[in-house]
């Protein structure tokens, strides 16, 4: 689409009361969005069946919009826009009930991204939850699937990092404009995602990542995906909204079981009770997509990952660890080895990517 027409798509997209439904009414009624922009307020009000208060608000916003501002921001930020009429607009997203008419993006969308899985969950995730999300993401990326998530703290961040750790593709769907990376500590992660996938949003550049934006963001996460995996979620978690959208969109829903005493397991366990597929490993997900199994990368890329050889003392320490953080003092006590020896072995295991040190001199098993 040439810039002369694109600027009108971007301008209508900036008006807060023009959601996808009203946007598509404008497209259907007018020969172009330029004609819609130049139409009399009375005609727009009739076409959109607007109450007086909303009509007044729309035209007040419209008066203050610079038609070239978003185009300038695109160029300045080296970003791109896809409209629903563009060939590169994701096919799966077109299938949902209210696809965003406009997508801003940094990075790239490829044909391979049609085979995507979203992994979502609590922002206040446990170490167990983050480990599971990262490992699932790694394995799914290794068999050629793109990982979709929302770049929030907790499970989302772990999912993106898992895909990136294997040079896999990942896409982050934002709840604000490309100008606002949220949370701010994920700016470096955002740059990595841009290099290995894409940052996507339906919101104009300067839109703040406000609470009301995230349900809209969630429908895009599920809409881009073949299925959604929920890893840790409380009873009212936003991740459950994504799962609901996935069901409405006819997509698969998966849930990872957790500790029955944890509030972060209530949402996932309820999903399982309601029919979501229980996930123990990446194969539980692939089983639902037989065509993808034939299309995936050679199994050897995942299954031939070499298991490091461990000395007798390393095996002792390794078997003392699990998915829950263990204090170094307890490891020393249980192993009957010296503090210096335990510290040396823990470092070796960490270098072999088998364990991870977390705050407070605690350690968890990664596999």
Question: Among 280, 303, 326, where does a domain finish?
Answer: 303
- Same domain membership, residue 211 and residue 316: no
- Same domain membership, residue 341 and residue 291: no
- The answer to the question of residue 90 being in a domain is no
Question: CATH number, domain at 328?
Answer: 1.10.10.10
pLDDT in tens, 174-224: 999 999 999 999 999 999 999 999 999 999 999 999 999 999 999 999 999
Cα distance between residue 367 and residue 325, in whole Å: 14
Question: Among 256, 286, 303, where does a domain finish?
Answer: 303
Nearest to 133 by CA among 305, 247, 255: 255
At residue 300, the pLDDT reads 39
Cβ neighbours of 273 (radius 10 Å): 9
What does the H/E/C string look like for 57-118? HHHHHHHCCCCCHHHHHHHHHCCEEEECCCCCCCHHHHCCCCCCCEEEEEECCCHHHHCEEE
At residue 298, the pLDDT reads 44
**DSSP 3-state assignment of 117?**
strand
- The answer to the question of residue 98 being in a domain is no
pLDDT at 303 exceeding the cut of 60: no
Nearest to 276 by CA among 268, 287, 264: 268
* Number of domains into which the chain is organized: 3
- Full domain range(s) for residue 298: 106-303
At residue 138, the pLDDT reads 93
* CA dihedral for 170, 176, 180, 182, sign (positive or negative): negative
- Same domain membership, residue 261 and residue 145: yes
DSSP state of 297: P
Strands 80-83 and 102-107: antiparallel
- Same domain membership, residue 135 and residue 166: yes
At residue 297, the pLDDT reads 46
- Same domain membership, residue 298 and residue 152: yes
Whole-number average pLDDT of the chain: 91
Q: Cis ω on the peptide bond leading into residue 183 (within 30° of 0)?
A: yes
- The answer to the question of residue 88 being in a domain is no
- Same domain membership, residue 141 and residue 13: no
**DSSP 3-state assignment of 177?**
coil
Query: Sorting pLDDT into bands at 50, 70 and 90, what band is 302?
Result: low
pTM assigned to the model: 0.84
- Same domain membership, residue 354 and residue 229: no
* CA dihedral for 102, 107, 113, 119, sign (positive or negative): negative
Cα distance between the two ends of the chain: 48
- The answer to the question of residue 328 being in a domain is yes
- Same domain membership, residue 176 and residue 323: no
At residue 292, the pLDDT reads 62
- The answer to the question of residue 118 being in a domain is yes
- Same domain membership, residue 163 and residue 16: no
Question: CATH number, domain at 238?
Answer: 3.40.50.450
- Same domain membership, residue 179 and residue 268: yes
């Amino acid at each position: 689409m040439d810039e002369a027409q694109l600027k009108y798509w971007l301008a209508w997209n900036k008006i807060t009361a023009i959601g996808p439904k009203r946007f598509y009414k404008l497209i259907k009624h007018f020969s172009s969005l330029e004609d819609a922009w130049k139409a009399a307020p009375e005609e727009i009000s009739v076409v959109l069946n607007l109450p007086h208060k909303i009509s007044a608000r729309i035209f007040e916003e419209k008066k203050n919009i610079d038609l070239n501002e978003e185009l300038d921001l695109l160029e300045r930020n080296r970003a791109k826009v896809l409209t629903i009429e563009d060939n590169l607009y994701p096919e799966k997203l077109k299938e949902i009930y209210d696809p965003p008419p406009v997508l801003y993006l940094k990075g790239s969308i490829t044909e391979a991204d049609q085979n995507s899985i979203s992994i979502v969950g609590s922002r206040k995730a446990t170490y167990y939850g983050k480990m599971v999300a990262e490992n699932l993401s790694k394995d799914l990326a290794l068999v050629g699937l793109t990982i979709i998530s929302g770049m929030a703290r907790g499970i989302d961040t772990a999912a993106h990092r898992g895909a990136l750790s294997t040079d896999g593709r990942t896409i982050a769907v934002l709840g604000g404009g490309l100008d606002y990376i949220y949370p701010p500590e994920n700016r470096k992660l955002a740059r990595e995602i841009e290099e290995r996938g894409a940052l996507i949003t339906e919101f104009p550049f300067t839109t703040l990542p406000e609470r009301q934006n995230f349900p809209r963001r969630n429908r895009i996460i599920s809409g881009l995906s073949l299925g959604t995996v929920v890893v840790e979620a409380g009873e009212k978690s936003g991740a459950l909204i994504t799962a609901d959208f996935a069901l409405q969109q006819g997509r698969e829903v998966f849930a990872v079981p957790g500790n029955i005493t944890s509030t972060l397991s209530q949402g996932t366990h309820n999903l399982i009770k309601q029919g979501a597929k229980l996930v123990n490993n990446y194969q539980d997900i692939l089983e639902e997509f037989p065509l993808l199994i034939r299309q995936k990368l050679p199994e050897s890329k995942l299954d031939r990952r070499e298991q490091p050889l461990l000395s007798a003392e390393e095996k002792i320490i390794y078997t003392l660890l699990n998915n829950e953080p263990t204090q170094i003092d307890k490891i020393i006590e249980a192993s009957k080895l010296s503090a210096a020896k335990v510290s040396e072995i823990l470092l070796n295991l960490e270098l072999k990517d088998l364990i991870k040190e977390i705050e407070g001199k605690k350690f968890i098993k990664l596999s």
